[in-house]
Amino acid sequence: MALPPYMTTSERVSYYGVRVFVGAVLLFLIAPILAIMPLSFNSEAFFSYPMPGFSARWYTGGDDGFFTNARWTGALKLSVIVAIAATILATCLGTLAALGLSRSNIPGRAAIMAVLISPMIVPVIISAIGLFFFYAYTGLNGTLLGIILAHTALATPFVVITVTATLMSFDRTLMRAGASLGGAPHTVFFKVVLPLILPGVISGALFAFVTSFDEVIVILFIGGPEQRTLPRQMFSGIRELISPTITAAASVLIVFSTFLLVTVELLRRRSERLRGIKS
C-alpha cells in the first residue's frame, strides 16, 4: 500500500511503527499456540527446537499415544459425552429464557438477567466449592448427572447472551405476520422465529460446548475417581510430569477450536446476511 505523498517523516515513522508493533502483538497471540504443535511430533521426549526427528508416537504410539492410551481416549470420550449433554440442556434452557427476556416490558428484567448470567460472574473456584457442598448433600458428587448439571449451569449464560443479542435485532412484526396468517404459536416459532435466530442459537450452543469441554476447576472438586475428563487428565499431567502426550492432546484441542472458530464465524456472517445487516 502506497502512503500518501504529503505525509511527513514522523508520520511515516509512526505509521510503520504502529504496523510493526501490531504485527508483533499478533505474533505474540498466535505463536505460543502454533509453537506447541510441531513439538507434539517430536521423536524424543523433550521440548525444544531443533527436533531430532519426527514421529507420531505421541498420537498413536501405544501407551505414549493420545489416541491409543485408554486413559486419554476414555477422558476424551467422557468429555464429549458431558459436553454434548450439557450443551443440549443449556441451549434449550438458555434459548427459552432468552425468548422470554426479549419481550421488552418485563418487570425486573435487569435483576433476572443478573441471576441468569451469575454463573459467568462468580469466580469459578467459588462456584466449585458451592457445588461441591451441594452435591455432597444431594449425592451428586462423582456422578455423571452431577457433572452435566454443573456444566449446564456454567454454560447457560453464554447461550442467554448470544441468543438475546440475536433477538435484539429480530423484527417482531414477522411473528405477528406469521400469526395473522393463521400460524399457531408453535408453528410460528418453528417456521419463522427459529430459522432466523438459529445462527445465534448455534453460536450459543458452541460457546456452551467449549465451556463444558474446557472446564477444569469444578471437575477437580465434584468429579469422582471415574470421572476423568480431558482437562482434568491434562491438568494432573502438567502438574506431575509433563509428557509429550500432553502436547499431542493440546494440538488436537487446538485443531478442534480452529474448527469451532470457523463454524461460528460462518454462522455469524450468515445470521447477519439473514437479518439484512451489512458487514
Partner 1 sequence: MTDDVMRAADGTPLKIKLRQAERREVTRAFLLIAPLFLFIVISFLIPIVVMLKNALYDPDIVDNLPQTTELLRQWDGKALPSEEVFAAFAADLKIASKARTVALVGKRLNYEIPTLKSKVTITARKLDSIETGPWLEAVTAADPIWKDVFTWAVVKRAGSSITPYYLLSALDLRQDADGGIERTPENRRIYLQVLGRTLGISVMVTLFTLILGYPVAFMLATLPQRTASILMIFVLLPFWTSLLVRTTAWTILLQDGGVVAQFLHITGITWIANVLGLMSGEPQLFKTRFATVLAMTHIQLPFTLLPIYSVMKTISPTYMRAAKSLGATPFRAFRTVYVPQTLPGVAAGCLLTFILCLGYFITPALVGGGSDNMIAGFIDTAMNNEGNWGKASALGFVLLIATLILYYVYNRLIGIDKMKLG
Partner 2 sequence: MKKLSILFAAALLAGTAFATSARAGDELTVVSWGGSYSESQRKAFYEPYNAAGNKVTEAEYNGEVAKIKAMVEAKAITWDVIDADTATGLQGCAEGVLETIDWDKLGLDRSKFIGGDLLDCAVPNIVYGTIFGYDTTKLPEGPTTINDFFDLAKFPGKRGIFKNPTVNLEWALIADGVDAKDVYTMLSTPEGVDRAFKKLDTIKSEIIFWEAGAQAPQLLADGQVVMVSAWNGRLQTAIDADKKPFKIVWDHQGLDWDWWVITKGTPKLEEAYRFIAFASQPERMADQTNYIAYGPANKDAIPNVNPMTLPNLPTAPDNLKTAFNVDPQFWADHGDELKERFNAWLAK
Pick out residues in 144-173 that bind partner 2 (CB under 8 A): 144-146, 148-149
Which segment (61-69, 199-207, 237-245, 251-259) binds partner 2 by CB under 8 A? 237-245
Please state the closest distance from residue 129 (CB atom) to partner 2, in A.
9
Please state the closest distance from residue 255 (CB atom) to partner 1, in A.
10
Measured distance CA(67)–CA(73) in Å, rounded: 6
Of residues 56 and 101, the one with the C-beta less far from partner 1: 101
Q: Does the footprint of partner 1 cover residue 214 (CB under 8 A)?
A: yes
Of residues 2 and 240, the one with the C-beta less far from partner 2: 240
How deeply is 183 buried, as exposed, middle or buried, from its count of CB atoms within 10 A (0-12, 13-18, 19+)?
Answer: middle
Query: What letter does residue 3 receive in the DSSP assignment?
Result: P
Of residues 119 and 146, the one with the C-beta less far from partner 2: 146
Kindly write out the interface string for residues 45-84 of this chain, putting x where it contacts partner 2 by CB under 8 A and - elsewhere: ------------------------------------x---
Q: Does the footprint of partner 1 cover residue 112 (CB under 8 A)?
A: yes
Measured distance CA(160)–CA(155) in Å, rounded: 9
Q: Does the footprint of partner 1 cover residue 258 (CB under 8 A)?
A: yes
Residues contacting partner 1: total by CB under 8 A: 88
Of residues 150 and 248, the one with the C-beta less far from partner 2: 150
Residues 52 to 91: which contact partner 1 by CB under 8 A? Answer: none
Please state the closest distance from residue 239 (CB atom) to partner 2, in A.
5
Task: Round to the nearest angstrom and report the end-to-end CA distance of the chain.
Answer: 23
Please state the closest distance from residue 276 (CB atom) to partner 2, in A.
27
Which segment (65-73, 161-169, 176-184, 191-199) binds partner 1 by CB under 8 A? 161-169
Residues 196 to 235: which contact partner 2 by CB under 8 A? Answer: 224-227
| Interface positions with partner 2 (CB under 8 A) | 81, 85, 88-89, 92-93, 95-96, 132-133, 136-146, 148-149, 185-186, 189-190, 224-227, 236, 239-242
